[in-house]
Structure 1
Amino acid sequence: MLCAISGEAPQVPVVSSKSGSVFEKRLIEAYIAENGKDPVNGEEMTTEDLIDINSQRVVRPRPPTLTSIPSLLSIFQEEWDALALETYTLQQNLAQTRRELSAALYQHDAAVRVIARVTKERDEARDALSKVTVGASRSAGAGEAMQVDSEGLPAAVAERIDNTHASLSKTRRKRQVPEGWATSDSISTYKPLETSEALYPGGRALSVNSTGELALVGSVDGVVGVYSLTQKAVVQTFNTDGPVTDATWAGNKAVVGSATGSVKVFENGSEVASFASHAGEVTALAVHATGDIVASVGVDKSYVLYDLSTNTAITQIFTDSGKYFMSCDYNYSHTNNDLLALLSVHIHPDGNLLAAGTVNGQIKIFDIKSGAAAADFAMSGPVKSLHFSENGTFLAAVAAQSTTVSIWDLRSAKETKVLDTGSYVNSIFWDYTGQFLLTGGPSGITVQQFNKSAKQWSEPLRSAVPAVAVAFGSAAQSIVSLNDAGVITVLAQS
């Protein structure tokens, strides 16, 4: 039986109730008085936690004077005990110091790497900014497209937006649910009925047209397909100039954004317009309620509005500078490593507001006619997807790598609800009635329902079908999903 501190047989042995180890009583009492812990496992400890061990031992004689050999041996024993205790403490401190030093070295290395990367990005940004200034000056001197401050949209476009807003805002909140629209009970029975082959692996763009018959699907190799949900086959394909980042229907026209910064418009399989207003990747597209105005956002911190009736880019607004650019031929060269890069976009159903989500977790709301900032909302991370409800009251948004969907009430500009789906969400989509919110992610699909009269949320559907993009079919009687393998799945009543 040896002392856990000195390693020798104890003269007055005690056992710790915390670790069960045996100690010399005087050594452990000295350690507790200094540290207040068990030296073996580090738990809080007092002398009351020590249990005496009764053992047979020889009774020591009375202490002699220091001039005797037994007295000197006793003093040497006490000095040895103190030395053993100090050595044990030093070993513990050395081990702790080594751990702290190792962590500090890793942190220093990471800090050096971050500083080097930030310095490089700063130099690239300065270089790009100098090129932008020179390019703009040359364009102005040659009489070509140049930077121009604008007071808003062209009068004809603004009038169309005003007329659309006036006609929709009067009836939007009073309109009834259309006859034959899906109900909570019917949605709860939806199951996967149709599954296509792998059409476009790596695709992340999905849009279903107003009839609910055609799905627009984009791929990373620049191919866009029109998939017929009734014929269960691709009926049309066309190519763009880079990986497809988003695609949407604008009436019977297909609008496609790419990683090269282009926005192309196709009609009946033929390209009818092409725009290159963005410097860098186009990240998302949205269609205005007029049906012929489309918005795009990109990593260059700008959103652009296009008039498909004249096939022109009518305005470009940079979120950090507030400048407006009136030329579709203007090229803005800028670094992509910016926290204000725009990732998502959606237009209010009345057509008067545009919402854009940034990399740094901001949702920026703009007046679509003037381009003026109307409001800012904060999210927990990069705003991956956002969608206005069709009744014009709510804005739903989801951050990247998040399991929750934030619901903002536009009337009070407050976050009124956070829906936790329990798994990552990639895509969100409101139905036409504004009562069903569809979510899709790698672990499956959910439908969240808002009961207006009870002001409560429920979940009528949860399916394990993985999705990178989702949309409702006609009258919400079906759900169309696209997974990362390019497979389209249709969920409906069997």
Structure 2
Amino acid sequence: MATLLCSICGQQPEVPVVSPASGKIFEKRLIVKYIEENGTDPVTGGKLEVSQLVELSQDQDTKPIQLSLGTASLPSLLKQLQDEWDATMLNNFTLRQELKSVREELTHALFQFNNSSPNGIVCRNICLKMVRENSVRKKYPYKTSRIFIRKKRPHKYFSARTSTEVFLSARNVRKDFKKFSDLYTTYVGVSSVFPNDAACRVINRLSSELQQTRHIIATLPHGRGKNVESEVEVTDVEMHHDGEGLPGIDADLIEFFTLKSQEFSSSRKQRGKNLPEDLASVEDVKRYEEIKCHDALHSASVPGITALDLQQHMILTGGIDKTVVLFNSQTETVENVFKGNQKRVNAIRLHPNLETIVSGGQDSKIRIWLANDPDARNVINIHDQAITDVSLHPTGDHFLCTSDDSYWSLTDLNTGSPLIKIKSSDDDVSLRCGQFHPDGLIFGTGARSSIVKIWDIKEQSNVAQFPGHSDSVCAISFSENGYYLATGSLDGEVKIWDLRKLKNLKTICPYNAKQAVNALTFDQSGAYLAIGGANVQIFQVKSWNKIYQFDGHTQVVTGINFGENAKFVASSSLDKTVRIFGVGSLPCQRERIFLGMRVSGN
């Protein structure tokens, strides 16, 4: 009797079965796995269920050749090796099928491109045009809408929910629309003379995307789809330079801010009566030591972390390498890497819900990201120069941006729509930092002119000024108690301002040689103030005595944040590390971190 061979593994089956779809013989174990994964016959590709298999009977004395596993005798090891062999056979079978399919496609393609075939001429012309179009996109990516490149999110430029975002993307639509129309006309003209399958597929795809583009332009708000060129450029200039044309803050939003401010103020005062029971004591802070050092979050070839934010166990960093990294300190893995910035990242904020991220960079653009998506949800181009700071409103629905163009802006976080853009002074002095007050009705900004200003968000007006620094103010932080404001400057001084009396309460000089203060922050209770510059220093509020100093960074500190109840502090530096120090005795371990993987070592 002829030997039965499995059509998948090529070996004599131990339990042979026949597929009614193809009439082929298979090892039951392998064909069952294949059907569970694909639901089809391995040979014909037709639909097949396990219940349709016909098992063949064979002589019990005839045993198939067994593969020797050497001296391995443990059942678990045998099963593991058997499963691995099964997977290899299934993979080889799939590869053979794909190879056959590729050979058929190659034969068809060679026929299509035969010089004697008129259809080959058509295909070559179409491919040459597509190659030229792709080369243009690679050379001038900023002029090309992503609708024609990415199928995962085909309408990214048109997902805007406000006219502002439409203005920012309409110029790309207009240019691509004209280019695409010309290309489509050429393809249709050629295909009418020499129809073939490849050309038809290309034409159908182009036709579908062209219709989508037409529909999107036709549905632009306020009728701007009818005359994109004449309206967009004028509005873009007005909005881009002085903020005219923006919707502003309406009465409903002002009322909302006012009501929420009263709630925040009431709850803040209630919390301020007593410090949290779990708050780290002064003695605890004095015993801080470094417990973690993460030194591979950003590119080693372009070293330097420029911004840091912390929410619960999630650490957000921005770097000179143009990326934003979300790191989980509990699992010690990188959750996501956000790319898209054209230049270094200057400011970042992680929403308390851990789902939304805002970043601003040297390329003057503001980007809104979702934590689980590496592509920016919104790209806002409202400022002319670098974004210097970002601050979330206490409600979590809006954020403040400051820029080197001397303007500050307020943007709706949910829609990505800028509401207002206000110039801070008449002398074009750049703004270096900004932060909302815990109640949300005022915020502070620091300028290159060394002046600290307090702004009323309802009136969009300057209500107080604090002169006193002798150089650019580049760090600012409000205390949770609501009446202390700390500012740091390139002159190496930290000034504490009393918002009730509008005067300087204390001046701290943490560094001897007037080294710049790059970052500072109060903890959530307002009991401690951390300062970052040449090193990290922590001061006790009210007494303003230094209680801790950390010199572990080898370059200047660029960001600093307290953990919950001041149990730990995280700091970032241009030495490309994020260091965590607090109460504990864990040794510092340097780590190499990759997406979803951690490798630790001394």
TM-score range for the pair, normalised by the shorter chain length? 0.5 to 0.7
Give the match's secondary structure for 2:256.
helix
Which residue in 2 is equivalent to 1:97? none
Contact 2:248 2:419 in 1 (8 A): no
2:365 to 237, 258, 262: 262
Answering whether residue 551 of structure 2 is matched by residue 449 of structure 1, we say no
Which residue in 2 is equivalent to 1:356? 445
Structure-to-structure mapping, 1:393-432, within 5 angstroms: 393-402=483-492, 404-423=493-512, 424=515, 425-432=517-524
Larger radius of gyration, structure 1 or 2?
Answer: 1
Which residue in 1 is equivalent to 2:287? 189
Deviation larger for 471-480 or 173-182: 173-182
User: Partners of 2:246 and 2:410 in 1: how far apart?
Assistant: 13
Answering whether residue 532 of structure 2 is matched by residue 440 of structure 1, we say yes
Answering whether residue 349 of structure 2 is matched by residue 248 of structure 1, we say yes
User: Partners of 2:533 and 2:552 in 1: how far apart?
Assistant: 9
Contact 2:357 2:369 in 1 (8 A): yes
1:214 to 300, 304, 314: 314
Contact 1:250 1:292 in 2 (8 A): no
User: Partners of 1:255 and 1:413 in 2: how far apart?
Assistant: 31
Deviation larger for 262-271 or 379-388: 262-271
Which stretches in structure 2 are left out of the alignment for 5+ residues?
Answer: 1-229, 585-602
What are the Cα deviations for residues 62-115 of structure 1, in whole angstroms up to 9, with x where unaligned? xxxxxxxxxxxxxxxxxxxxxxxxxxxxxxxxxxxxxxxxxxxxxxxxxxxxxx
Return closer, same or farther for 1:165/1:206 CA change in 2, 3 Å cut-off.
same
Structure-to-structure mapping, 1:162-201, within 5 angstroms: 162-175=258-271, 176-200=274-298, 201=303
1:205 to 295, 300, 307: 307
Return closer, same or farther for 1:151/1:215 CA change in 2, 3 Å cut-off.
closer
Which residue in 2 is equivalent to 1:372? 461
Shift of 1:339: 5.8
What are the Cα deviations for residues 133-192 of structure 1, in whole angstroms up to 9, with x where unaligned? xxxxx7599677755388961233223211220101123233232231212111111100
Shift of 1:289: 0.6
Structure-to-structure mapping, 1:194-343, within 5 angstroms: 194-200=292-298, 201-209=303-311, 211=312, 213-242=313-342, 243-251=344-352, 252=354, 253-270=356-373, 271-320=376-425, 340-343=429-432
Which residue in 2 is equivalent to 1:36? none
What are the Cα deviations for residues 293-338 of structure 1, in whole angstroms up to 9, with x where unaligned? 11111011100111112321111111125xxxxxxxxxxxxxxxx7
User: Partners of 2:282 and 2:337 in 1: how far apart?
Assistant: 36
Question: What letter corresponds to residue 574 of structure 2 in structure 1?
Answer: D
Which residue in 1 is equivalent to 2:202? none
Shift of 1:258: 1.0
Question: What letter corresponds to residue 264 of structure 1 in structure 2?
Answer: R
What are the Cα deviations for residues 452-474 of structure 1, in whole angstroms up to 9, with x where unaligned? xxxx2222211213322111112
Give the match's secondary structure for 2:545.
strand
What are the Cα deviations for residues 360-416 of structure 1, in whole angstroms up to 9, with x where unaligned? 1011111012111111111211001011111111110011141x2100000111001
RMSD: 2.2
Which stretches in structure 1 are left out of the alignment for 5+ residues?
Answer: 1-137, 322-337
1:492 to 564, 570, 582: 582
Larger fraction in strand: 1
User: Partners of 1:151 and 1:237 in 2: how far apart?
Assistant: 33
What are the Cα deviations for residues 20-62 of structure 1, in whole angstroms up to 9, with x where unaligned? xxxxxxxxxxxxxxxxxxxxxxxxxxxxxxxxxxxxxxxxxxx
What are the Cα deviations for residues 418-455 of structure 1, in whole angstroms up to 9, with x where unaligned? 1121353321010111120001122x21111124xxxx
User: Partners of 2:487 and 2:578 in 1: how far apart?
Assistant: 24
Question: What letter corresponds to residue 384 of structure 2 in structure 1?
Answer: A
Question: What letter corresponds to residue 312 of structure 1 in structure 2?
Answer: S
Contact 1:345 1:355 in 2 (8 A): yes
User: Partners of 1:292 and 1:150 in 2: how far apart?
Assistant: 18
User: Partners of 1:143 and 1:476 in 2: how far apart?
Assistant: 48
Return closer, same or farther for 1:148/1:474 CA change in 2, 3 Å cut-off.
same
Question: What letter corresponds to residue 550 of structure 2 in structure 1?
Answer: S
What are the Cα deviations for residues 228-260 of structure 1, in whole angstroms up to 9, with x where unaligned? 112223221111322101111123211000111
Return closer, same or farther for 1:150/1:265 CA change in 2, 3 Å cut-off.
closer
Which residue in 2 is equivalent to 1:468? 558
Larger fraction in helix: 2
User: Partners of 1:377 and 1:235 in 2: how far apart?
Assistant: 41
Which residue in 2 is equivalent to 1:122? none
Contact 1:250 1:291 in 2 (8 A): yes
Which residue in 2 is equivalent to 1:161? 257
Contact 1:439 1:470 in 2 (8 A): yes
User: Partners of 1:391 and 1:478 in 2: how far apart?
Assistant: 21
Give the match's secondary structure for 2:541.
strand
User: Partners of 2:382 and 2:419 in 1: how far apart?
Assistant: 10
Contact 2:261 2:439 in 1 (8 A): yes
Question: What letter corresponds to residue 450 of structure 1 in structure 2?
Answer: V
Answering whether residue 441 of structure 2 is matched by residue 345 of structure 1, we say no
User: Partners of 1:275 and 1:492 in 2: how far apart?
Assistant: 38
Give the match's secondary structure for 1:172.
helix
Shift of 1:203: 1.9
Contact 2:293 2:579 in 1 (8 A): yes
User: Partners of 2:290 and 2:520 in 1: how far apart?
Assistant: 19
Give me the identity figure in percent: 25
Contact 1:238 1:269 in 2 (8 A): no
Give the match's secondary structure for 1:485.
coil
Question: What letter corresponds to residue 348 of structure 1 in structure 2?
Answer: H
Structure-to-structure mapping, 1:64-103, within 5 angstroms: none
Which residue in 1 is equivalent to 2:244? 148
User: Partners of 1:151 and 1:361 in 2: how far apart?
Assistant: 31
User: Partners of 1:151 and 1:264 in 2: how far apart?
Assistant: 20
User: Partners of 1:473 and 1:234 in 2: how far apart?
Assistant: 19
Contact 1:339 1:360 in 2 (8 A): no
Which residue in 1 is equivalent to 2:571? 481
Return closer, same or farther for 1:377/1:233 CA change in 2, 3 Å cut-off.
same
Question: What letter corresponds to residue 252 of structure 2 in structure 1?
Answer: A
Give the match's secondary structure for 1:161.
helix
Shift of 1:352: 0.9
Question: What letter corresponds to residue 292 of structure 2 in structure 1?
Answer: E
Return closer, same or farther for 1:461/1:154 CA change in 2, 3 Å cut-off.
same
Give the match's secondary structure for 1:222.
coil
User: Partners of 2:351 and 2:231 in 1: how far apart?
Assistant: 32
